[in-house]
A and B are shown apart, each in its own frame.
Chain A
Amino acid sequence: MFEFFTRLFRGEPSGQTAKERLRLVLLSDHLALAPDVVDAMKTDLLAVISRYVEVDEANVDVTFEQRDHEVAMLANIPIRSMKERERPRPKVASIVVFPKAETIATVGVAVELEGSAPIAPPPDGVQAPAASLTADESEKAQTAAAGDVALALGEPIVEVKSPAPKPRRRRRRKSAARIAAQQATRPPYETSAQA
């Protein structure tokens, strides 16, 4: 009976907490152990950002940070100048990718498997379904294909922010997007063969 109350007030049993902590800590361990993956991500990130701004590539810094319930990827990318447009902008942009932990792992795996898989967002790569499919089937095919792309790319939410503190409203939007990213992926350690 006592146990019932403690469980009621303290939430999940501690074994579950241990499992979740372990999953997260191993995730970041494995990320730290795969510098080639981090390098590949860095290269791809730079490729995207370089489309808009000129980047000081020598001083790019990508790190991972353990937060309460997630691992965050922090990229510090010094910007030299804007391309084309000459509007005054902050000199340093800090790119914060805030996916749920699982998402990073998916990105890591995808990059590792495909070498230089672009992290660029375009779902243009999604093949249009063959004309012969029925409307229902083609919709299904499209969703499946889009899902695959989302999984392969890990759907990182890239947000360029100035070093100044952000207004509250943007944080809200970010977390909504974060939930979306979380739904698009599955946790890497729960796919184990529990035969």
Chain B
Amino acid sequence: MQEFASELTSAPPAEQTLGRAIVITSGKGGVGKTTTAANLGAALAARGARVALVDADIGLRNLDIVLGLESRVRYHLLDVLEERALLDDALVRDKRSENLFLLAAAQAREKEDVDTERMVALVESLRERFEYVLIDSPAGIELGFRNAAAGAQEAIIVCMPEVSSVRDADRVVGLLPSSMRPALIVNRLRPALVRKGKMLSVDDVNGILRLPLLGVIVDEPAVIVAANRGEPVALDATSQTGAAYREIAARIAGEQIPAPAAPGEAGLFAKLGALFRGRR
């Protein structure tokens, strides 16, 4: 089992006054970037940090839905970039946390409409006001992804334990600036399948990507239930997945948290049980 990264490898900004801008990306779509962004934002805010979530997935706005804030969005990212609205008016405060703010994506526009330089300037000004600026990148490796990554100094790669997702993650890592060594979250792992050898394990995935491992999210029904309700599972004290997100948030914040038993790799009791039942 690999050591979990205690924090993202690229150092936080030298100036204490500026926050950390982290892009959350994956290359492949549908692997859980938006869910990850929402949950990490909620978990970091729950720790007391001021967090801005930026939905850079122009045209496919979703972060507001995952957070249950869709009815509160007045202005969006492009309104701010194109100076039709003030940043303060466009930032939506979360229902549950005073520290968490969302800058929603434009729904009726295209990714190509974003001006890269303005995006960088916007992220910079957010960093002056927030400790964390989490940018939810669109899928793909085109301009939308590049714009999302442009203002960030750090990156989190979300990857599912499957061939196509790992391949795309590998590609995206190669496209990020070399100064940005991303950290990895393995998402939607199914421990039962890993035990049977029917799914890539965390070690399989990271044996290839070789990134600092921030955490592993197990595929759990609670995540779907939470998404249905528009409530980040990270705030659910009873959910294992929620706990995993809170741990990841703590690691991002620089806390040293020891790695739990890798999901899917049998613990002592499971091994003993298997011994008595006879291996199949």
Is B84's beta carbon under 8 Å from chain A?
no
- Chain B residue, CB-CB nearest to A33: B174
Question: B116-124, B128-136, B200-208: which lies at the A interface?
Answer: B200-208
Say whether A18 contacts B203, CB under 8 Å: no
Contacts A18-B162, A25-B167, A26-B170; is A13 near B197 (CB within 8 Å)?
yes
Chain B residues closer than 8 Å to A33, beta-carbon distance: 174
In residues 1-35 of chain A, which contact B (Cβ within 8 Å)?
1, 3-4, 12-16, 18-19, 21-23, 25-26, 29, 33
Is A194's beta carbon under 8 Å from chain B?
yes
The one of B171, B204, B280 in contact with A19, judged by C-beta atoms closer than 8 angstroms, is B204
Main SS at interface, chain A: helix
Say whether B163 contacts A18, CB under 8 Å: yes
The one of B170, B200, B207, B280 in contact with A18, judged by C-beta atoms closer than 8 angstroms, is B200
In residues 131-178 of chain A, which contact B (Cβ within 8 Å)?
none
How many angstroms between the C-alpha atoms of A84 and B171 in the bound complex? 48
* Contact mask for chain B residues 9-37; partner A; CB cutoff 8 A; 1 contact, 0 none: 00000000000000000000000000000
Chain A residues closer than 8 Å to B280, beta-carbon distance: 1, 3-4
Size bin of chain B's contact surface: 20 to 34
Say whether A19 contacts B200, CB under 8 Å: yes
Contacts A29-B167, A29-B171, A192-B210; is A22 near B200 (CB within 8 Å)?
yes
How many angstroms between the C-alpha atoms of A13 and B197 in the bound complex? 6
Binding site for B on A (CB under 8 A): 1, 3-4, 12-16, 18-19, 21-23, 25-26, 29, 33, 189-190, 192-195
Binding site for A on B (CB under 8 A): 2-3, 162-163, 166-167, 170-171, 174, 193-194, 196-201, 203-204, 207-208, 210, 280
Closest 4 CB pairs of A and B: A13-B197, A192-B207, A15-B197, A22-B163
